[in-house]
């Protein structure tokens, strides 16, 4: 079973499950506390169920879900769970080695900073135009817990979706390309004192946005609401209306390079179904 998402409304979650059952798909609910419900779908039905989930997230109270419950005979409000849950550790284990590695390295570097190693470690990882490896390493540097958590959440979410739909090779390529362009963009316009995974995150967003436009029959990797939010965040950063300093040119460089990567991949057909099995 593959996780589609979670919701803190058991009744609405049951309506969604009943709705996809009415569409000939199989899913189930998992919860450990009776409040936060995880919606899971069989792997063979994932691509069909994903766009239905996106519609549900936008409007979980649509009458179609309650109607579906009546059709399949599941109208009870207290849900019967299987006593299973995807706990944090299990959910992390479900990620690919690539997603896990980037996450753990970012967390490890930040913990090392807290333990007093900032000057020594940052001196090695800081962008240096004469050291090619440092063209990538600023992506794993974070200066606050909020900075780290925000970027990791988006990395896991967007990266996991891209990897499932287009393969590990796409995610690896995106990481390398968007890190290079975002870091060089920030260095050339501002200087070497920056860090964070957000340039890559904006690259994943740009890729997901264009991939969705070029492949309308495929499950969307990102919703319009998320695209709008991230673009507004980018604009507010350039307008200096946020309470924290932002690597705005890294964000813009990542976004544009991610979009270009999607166009290029489509043009040269670099995304192959076999990539998913790598």
The C-alpha angle with vertex 262 and arms to 256 and 264, in degrees rounded to 5, equals: 100
- Angle of helix 248-268 versus helix 168-189 axis, rounded to 10: 140
How many structural domains comprise the chain? Answer: 2
Confidence band of 70 (pLDDT split at 50, 70, 90): low
* DSSP characters over 88-123: HHHHHHTS-HHHHHHHHHHHHHHHHIIIIIHHHHHH
Together in a domain, 140 and 45: no
Q: Which residues are catalytic?
A: 198, 251
Shared domain for 159 and 247, answered yes or no, is yes
Non-local CB neighbours of 225 within 8 Å, separated by 6+ positions = 58
Query: Per-residue pLDDT tens for 265-277?
Result: 888 864 444 444 4
* Full-model pTM: 0.65
Q: Where among 68, 86, 104 does a domain terminate?
A: 86
Residue 6 lies in domain: 2-86
CB hemisphere CA count around 47 (13 angstroms): 9
Q: What mean pLDDT is predicted for residues 182-186?
A: 96
Q: pLDDT tens digits for 40-50?
A: 888 777 788 88
């Amino acid at each position: 079973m593959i996780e589609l998402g979670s919701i803190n409304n058991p009744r609405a979650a049951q309506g969604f499950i009943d709705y996809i059952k009415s569409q000939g798909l199989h899913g189930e609910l998992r919860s450990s506390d009776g409040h936060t419900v995880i919606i899971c779908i069989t792997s063979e039905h994932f691509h069909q169920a994903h766009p239905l989930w996106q519609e549900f997230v936008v409007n979980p109270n649509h009458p179609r879900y309650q109607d579906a419950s009546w059709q399949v005979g599941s109208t009870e409000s207290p849900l019967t769970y299987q006593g299973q849950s995807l706990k944090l550790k299990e959910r992390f284990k479900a990620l690919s080695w690539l997603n896990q590695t980037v996450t753990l390295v970012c967390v490890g570097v930040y913990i090392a900073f807290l333990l007093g190693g900032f000057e020594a470690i940052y001196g090695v990882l800081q962008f240096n135009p004469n050291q090619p490896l440092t063209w990538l390493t600023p992506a794993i540097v974070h200066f606050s817990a909020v900075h780290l958590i925000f970027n990791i959440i988006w990395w896991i979410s967007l990266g996991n979706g891209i990897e499932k739909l287009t393969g590990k090779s796409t995610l690896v390529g995106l990481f390398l390309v968007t890190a290079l362009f975002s870091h060089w963009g920030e260095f050339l316009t501002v200087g070497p004192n920056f860090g964070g995974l957000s340039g890559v995150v904006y690259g994943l967003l740009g890729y997901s946005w264009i991939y969705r436009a070029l492949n309308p029959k495929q499950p969307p990797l990102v919703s319009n609401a998320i695209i709008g939010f991230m673009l507004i965040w980018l604009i507010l950063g350039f307008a200096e209306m946020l309470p924290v300093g932002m690597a705005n040119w890294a964000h813009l460089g990542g976004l544009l390079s991610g979009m270009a990567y999607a166009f290029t991949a489509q043009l040269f057909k670099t995304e192959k179904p076999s990539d998913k099995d790598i």
